[in-house]
Structure 1
């Protein structure tokens, strides 16, 4: 009986090597994330640079830099 159950379970399982996972999905997510970072960087880059420069100047004591 145990062999019969094991045989049935083995028959339900797909053969090894057929499971590729969700590689295309992960590639798409990675590319979309990279694109989103580039767009945000292009839009907010100058403002973030100014914020960083002002923060560094306020810490170091430089004024009008």
Structure 2
């Protein structure tokens, strides 16, 4: 029964937090743009240097497992 009470309290706290007009909460479109731009940068780095990255990771894992 304690777990149920704890869950209800947590739900109430989260609901109150979502309803508040906190200026520190941020905006969703900004975070979506940051996420998309980060994914684009990862792809921009990964595509031309894929073989070098795979070789470096394979070499590092081999040196750790054999070392």
Q: TM-score range by the shorter chain?
A: 0.3 to 0.5
Q: Which has the larger radius of gyration?
A: 1
What is the TM-score with the length of structure 2 in the denominator? 0.47
Normalised to the residue count of structure 1, the TM-score between the two structures is 0.48
